[in-house]
Amino acid sequence: MRTLVLGIGNPILGDDGIGFHIAQELAKEIKDENIDVKDTSIDGLNLLELIVGYDKLIVIDAIMTEDEKVGEIYRLKPENTGEPVRLTISPHHLNLATTIEIGKKLFAEQIPGEIIVFAVGTQEVTKVTEEMTQKVKEAIPRVVNLVLEEISSLHYFPLAYH
């Protein structure tokens, strides 16, 4: 099963970089020829180019929540990340649910059949800074472990992690 672990986020926009940082950590740990780990700061329809051809997709991204939810980890399906948009002025900045819906129509056989999103509740995603909120930083090792558990469930044998 070809799997893509995709960390989405901009590392110079505070908490928005959580997906990027987690992907960087996972790339050091995962050594399996059937699993690719990538990070990206692109969104919307541009994501389709990265995800076509995989059987499973694991996305790691930031999600804006109330302050009391900062650092909380959510395991979601794409349909739970926002209502698909039926009409938009620009093909950029579509939410993940909309991007997947369009991808299924354009590339029906090439979109991953299973998609899981690990989202971390964030606070600051607009200020230009490489510093993340403390609670968001503390979520990094927990999400890394959750993704590694998710990946190991794909195999009947333990993966080699370094």
Mapped to the 3 state alphabet, what secondary structure does the chain carry? CCEEEEEECCCCEHHHHHHHHHHHHHHHHECCCCEEEEEECCCCCHHHHHHCCCCEEEEEEEEECCHHHCCCEEEECHHHCCCCCCCCCCCCCCCHHHHHHHHHHHCCCCCCCEEEEEEEEECCCCCCECCCCHHHHHHHHHHHHHHHHHHHCCCCCCCCEC
Instruction: For tokens 């987690």, name the residue.
Output: 22
Total tally of structural domains belonging to the chain:
1
Instruction: For tokens 């099963």, name the residue.
Output: 1
Residue 67 lies in a domain: yes
CATH number of 8's domain: 3.40.50.1450
pLDDT of residue 87: 36
Q: Return d(Cα 146, Cα 136) in angstroms, integer.
A: 15
Domain that holds residue 52: 3-152
| Listed residue (7, 23, 8, 31) closest to 152, CA to CA | 31
Residue 129 lies in a domain: yes
Report pTM.
0.85
Could you read off the pLDDT of 134-144 as tens digits, one per residue?
999 999 999 99
pLDDT of residue 131: 93
Residue 24 lies in a domain: yes
Residue 160 lies in a domain: no
Contacts of 158 (CB under 8 A, 6+ apart): 152
Could you read off the pLDDT of 40-62 as tens digits, one per residue?
998 888 899 999 999 999 999 99
Inter-residue contact 103 to 87 (CB < 8 Å): no
Could you read off the pLDDT of 59-95 as tens digits, one per residue?
999 988 665 689 999 998 876 655 444 333 334 346 7
Q: Return d(Cα 5, Cα 13) in angstroms, integer.
A: 21
